[in-house]
């Protein structure tokens, strides 16, 4: 049983930020937006980001008075410019194998080319009932692989895809760069990222664009309702899911688990080099980027025992987002805080979230 209470609006969708706490523990959230900077950073991307930020998203009085919709549009345009995929987002797909899983679900192994020409692999779980079905794109975290989301329950990904597919969702779980089928023997993810940097690109940019490609692949899967697709990710996958959802407004519901941090923390040495994408500083804070996803449904999971961001690191950023959503009157935000969890998520809470927001026809713009 979930260790968190459930609160939702009369129509099943929160009309104001909803905060769920483990053991029904009520806490008042008060947040503020923190300035983002990296003292002593020398990466040339910081200078590029600063110039772009000054040009597009300046923080002077004139920008403060600008229409909020224009700011969101400008951020989306800039984000897509920063990502700028090098290949098509809707590649040709081949099915290399099809099996029936022990959970009596159809599992297909898909292969397709991503932006830089690399061959990606993704596992597709389909219910046995006829469609059209809602669907969820699942992005695993560091040292994970697609199977942890579709088969193996004793990992920290907890076979989330099985829960969703058994409930009637189509699930696509791709391998993230340098993991699973992408893994190169003898080369860790940070070395993979350094090799990408040496070739003139950024690992995180490729990983985010890979997720965008996977989303478009999922839209074209037979039996999927392309207007009812969500995305969820844990850890590195949470970061990828957040940015991909901001870049793809057709993604209808979003779950970020374990790593909703301010850029200052996220790009610090305490986190893996492969996650560093300092050009995102041009967008302002990660709070602003997350707020751009609203009023689409957005659920953020955080465990009070999560030590990855230091004491309260992720929760502070979440508090700032809650406050911003309240100030702007933005619906759609839900926060799930577990007193008993660390770097993890609650699969039943995610299932409930996607059922409430994807099982009926979406009215999101």
- Does some domain include residue 363? no
233: region left, alpha or beta (phi > 0 left; psi from -120 to 50 alpha): beta
Say what the pLDDT of residue 42 is. 33
- Does some domain include residue 58? yes
Contacts with 13 (C-beta within 8 Å, 6 or more apart), sequence order:
297, 331, 332, 356, 357
Which pLDDT tens digit goes with each residue over 41-78?
334 433 444 444 444 444 444 444 457 788 889 999 99
Residue 191, classified by CB atoms within 10 Å of its CB into exposed (0-12), middle (13-18) or buried (19+), is middle
The CA distance from 95 to 108, in Å, is 7
| Count of domains observed in the chain | 1
The CA distance from 90 to 72, in Å, is 25
- Does some domain include residue 304? yes
pLDDT surpasses 50 at 169: yes
CB-based contact 302:57 (threshold 8 Å): no
The CA distance from 241 to 247, in Å, is 10
Q: Which residue has the higher pLDDT, 190 or 310?
A: 190
Residue 164 tokens read as 């969703």
DSSP string, 26-44: -------PPP---TT---H
Range of the domain at 184: 18-358
Residue 354 tokens read as 């996607």
CB-based contact 356:228 (threshold 8 Å): no
- Does some domain include residue 349? yes
The CA distance from 181 to 121, in Å, is 6
- Does some domain include residue 2? no
Q: How confident is the model at residue 346 (pLDDT cuts 50, 70, 90)?
A: confident
Q: How confident is the model at residue 211 (pLDDT cuts 50, 70, 90)?
A: very high
Q: What is the CATH number of the domain that holds 158?
A: 3.40.50.1820
- Does some domain include residue 142? yes
């Amino acid at each position: 049983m979930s260790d968190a209470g459930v609160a939702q609006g009369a129509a099943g969708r929160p009309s104001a930020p909803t905060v769920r706490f483990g053991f029904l523990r009520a806490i008042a959230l008060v947040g503020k937006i923190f300035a983002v900077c990296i003292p002593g950073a020398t990466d040339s991307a910081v200078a590029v980001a600063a110039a772009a930020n000054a040009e597009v998203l300046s923080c002077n009085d004139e920008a403060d008075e600008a229409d909020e919709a224009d700011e969101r549009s400008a951020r989306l345009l800039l984000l897509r410019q920063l990502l700028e995929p090098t290949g098509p987002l809707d590649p040709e797909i081949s099915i290399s194998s099809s099996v029936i899983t022990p959970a009596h679900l159809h599992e297909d192994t898909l292969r397709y080319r991503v932006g830089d020409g690399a061959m990606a692999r993704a596992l597709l779980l389909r219910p046995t009932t006829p469609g059209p079905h809602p669907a969820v794109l699942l992005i695993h975290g560091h040292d994970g692989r697609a199977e942890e989301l579709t088969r193996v329950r004793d990992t920290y990904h907890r076979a989330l895809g099985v829960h969703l597919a058994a409930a009637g969702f189509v699930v696509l779980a791709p391998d993230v760069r340098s993991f699973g089928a992408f893994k190169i023997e003898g080369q860790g993810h940070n070395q993979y990222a350094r090799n990408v940097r040496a070739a003139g690109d950024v690992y995180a940019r490729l990983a985010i664009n890979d997720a965008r490609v996977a989303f478009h692949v999922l839209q074209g899967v037979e039996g999927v309702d392309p207007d009812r697709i969500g995305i969820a990710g844990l850890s590195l996958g949470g970061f990828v899911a957040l940015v991909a959802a901001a870049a793809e407004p057709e993604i209808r519901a979003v779950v970020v688990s374990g790593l909703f941090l301010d850029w200052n923390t996220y790009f610090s040495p305490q986190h893996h080099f492969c996650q560093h994408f300092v050009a995102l500083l041009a967008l302002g804070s990660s709070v602003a980027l997350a707020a751009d996803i609203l009023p689409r449904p957005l659920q953020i999971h955080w465990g009070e025992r999560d030590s990855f961001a230091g004491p309260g690191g992720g929760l502070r950023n979440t508090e700032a987002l809650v406050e911003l959503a309240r100030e702007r009157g933005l619906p759609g935000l839900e926060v799930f805080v577990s007193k008993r969890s660390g770097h993890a998520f609650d699969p039943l809470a995610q299932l409930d979230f996607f059922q409430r927001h994807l099982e009926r026809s979406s009215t999101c713009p």
